[in-house]
Amino acid sequence: MLMKQLQRTLIITSVFLLSVPVIFSPTASASSNRTTLISHRGAQGNGYAEHTYAAYDRAIREGTRYIDTDLQSSKSGTLYVSHDATANRMTNGSGAFVKKSNAQINRLKVNVGRWGRGRGDRIHTMYAVFSRYGSRKSIKFSIELKNGAKQADAFVSLVKSLEKKYPGLRKRIIAQSFSRAGLDTVRKGLPGIRGTMKIYGSNMTTNDLQKTLQDPLITIVSVKRNRVSALKNKVHRAGKKISVYTISDTRNLKKFKKMKVDYLYTNNTARGLRVF
């Protein structure tokens, strides 16, 4: 009787020990099927003016873990948050940001957004956005360097300068760009950054994609919705994650949930979270 109990105990212990590497393995964790939603320019899908505090605050209230920003540079190289290279569409001014002084950009006011949601907001610096949300450790940042390599050094310097105030800030940042060179600079300058995402638009070439898949400094590949099916397995085999942009309607949210993409950009955080 005692021998049978001992054998049973040994069997149970062996099963447990064999299972431990699987349960706690970093590889098992990295291959999670969960999709991370990123609020594209804030909650702009709800009528909020993109890249305004109102849009970011709304997305955070809805439960986002990531707010998405785009970077433009002033004449002096200060990093401002705007998708567009000019002030024409979003503000009461006009002209390229890169030709404007900080003082000129600071006088601009946002004049889009329905029902006053974000209207009157300024074009914020990336420093100001970090200052507003940097102390909230639950909030992470997806930041696109619109001018790639030209902005990479300034971006690295900005993050480093703020890490005394916000320890571990780089671990909450995914840097994204169409420029692989810019992302390589960021990865080298900010070792330990959460992720570096190479974005592809309509002009993807097989040769360029292959270079990205072989680049150890790129961790995420971002593509349009029509590319995901053909590329997901190839990206995963290269040890990288795949992201899709920009999905906001319920039907396609469900579609990409089923496809188990790693990251998904959405204009409607609340709807996305209901699906996922």
In tens, the pLDDT along 226-243 reads 999 999 999 999 999 999
130 belongs to a structural domain? yes
CA–CA separation, 269 vs 142, rounded Å? 14
Considering the chain, what percentage of its residues have pLDDT values greater than 70?
A: 88
142 belongs to a structural domain? yes
Q: What is the pLDDT of residue 115?
A: 81
102 belongs to a structural domain? no
Q: What is the pLDDT of residue 198?
A: 98
- Select from 197, 245, 204, 244 the least CA-distant residue to 221: 197
pLDDT over 60 at 20, yes or no: no
Measure CA of the first residue to CA of the last residue in the chain; give whole Å: 52
245 belongs to a structural domain? yes
Q: What is the pLDDT of residue 3?
A: 46
63 belongs to a structural domain? yes
Considering the chain, what percentage of its residues have pLDDT values greater than 90?
A: 84
Cα within 13 Å of Cα(161), Cβ side? 10
pLDDT over 90 at 12, yes or no: no
43 belongs to a structural domain? yes
For residue 275, name the pLDDT band (cuts at 50, 70, 90). very high
Residue scoring higher pLDDT (118 or 23): 118
Element (DSSP H or E) covering residue 97: none
Q: For residue 85, what are its two tokens?
A: 């290279």
CA–CA separation, 62 vs 167, rounded Å? 26
CA–CA separation, 196 vs 211, rounded Å? 15
For residue 8, name the pLDDT band (cuts at 50, 70, 90). low
| Measured CA distances, 159 to 101, 125, 169, 170, 187 (Å) | 22, 13, 7, 7, 12
The residues, any chain, with a CB within 8 Å of residue 52's CB and separated by 6 or more, are 42, 110, 113, 117, 118, 121, 124
Determine the distance from the C-alpha atom of residue 68 to the mean position of all C-alpha atoms in its chain, rounded to a whole number. 6
CA–CA separation, 147 vs 131, rounded Å? 23
Cis check for the bond before 246: say yes or no (omega within 30 of 0): yes
E strands, the chain, are 36-39, 66-73, 79-81, 140-145, 173-177, 195-199, 220-224, 241-245, 263-266
Identity (one letter) of the amino acid at 93? G
Task: Give residue-wise pLDDT tens across range 123-139.
Answer: 999 999 999 999 999 99
Domain that holds residue 59: 28-85+124-275
**DSSP H helices in 25-110:** 26-30, 53-62, 102-106
For residue 10, name the pLDDT band (cuts at 50, 70, 90). very low
What CATH number is associated with residue 220? 3.20.20.190
Task: Give residue-wise pLDDT tens across range 98-112.
Answer: 999 999 999 999 999
Q: What is the pLDDT of residue 2?
A: 43
5 belongs to a structural domain? no
pLDDT over 70 at 27, yes or no: no
N residues, the chain: 276
CA–CA separation, 106 vs 176, rounded Å? 25
pTM for this predicted structure: 0.87
196 belongs to a structural domain? yes
Q: What is the pLDDT of residue 33?
A: 66
pLDDT over 70 at 181, yes or no: yes
What total number of domains does the chain contain? Answer: 1
Q: Are the C-beta atoms of 40 and 246 separated by less than 8 Å?
A: yes
Identity (one letter) of the amino acid at 84? D
Q: 3-class SS at 157?
A: helix
Q: For residue 38, what are its two tokens?
A: 């990123």
Q: Average pLDDT, stretch 233-261?
A: 98
For residue 19, name the pLDDT band (cuts at 50, 70, 90). very low
